[in-house]
Structure formats: C-alpha cells, structure tokens
Amino acid sequence: MLLAPDENTLKGKRDGAILGLLVGCGLRRAELVSLVVDKIQMREDRWVIPDLVGKGNRVRMVPVPSW
C-alpha cells in the first residue's frame, strides 16, 4: 500500500507522505487533516509530533518513524 503512489509526480510524493504518516504514526484522518507541518519537531535525535490532540481531546506525543 505504501508503494502504490507514483514517486515521480508531486501528487504521488504527497500521497506517499500522507500514507506514511497514517500507517507509521497511527494517526487518524482527523488528526492528519488538522496537522500543521510546523508542529513536527526534532527531539532527542528523532522526529515527533508533540501535543497532538486526538480522539476524546487526549493530548499525546507521536514519534515519526525514520523510514
């Protein structure tokens, strides 16, 4: 599924990034749609999405996989 988008087009790169965040981070659609790219931070030598407000207004820190 992650290899389905065409990496040679801009839309394919976007779709690959979206699928990677959904699968790799376990994000819900609403969490992904409300995500602002500026919120993604480098902490302790890894990328994370800090203070992500999810289902039930729970706040969590989500690690982003290195791949």
- As a three-state string, the secondary structure of the chain is CCCCCCCCCHHHHHHHHHHHHHHHHCCCHHHHHHCCHHHCEEECCEEEEEEEECHHHCEEEEECCCC
The answer to the question of residue 4 being in a domain is no
1 domain-assigned: no
* Residue 24 belongs to some domain of the structure: yes
Residue 2 lies in a domain: no
Model-level pTM? 0.75
Which tens digit of pLDDT belongs to each residue from 49-64? 999 988 889 999 999 9
Number of domains comprising the chain: 1
In a domain, 31, yes or no: yes
Print the domain residue range for 41. 10-63
Residues 11-43 pLDDT 10s: 999 998 899 899 999 999 999 998 998 999 999
Confidence of residue 1 (pLDDT cuts 50, 70, 90): confident
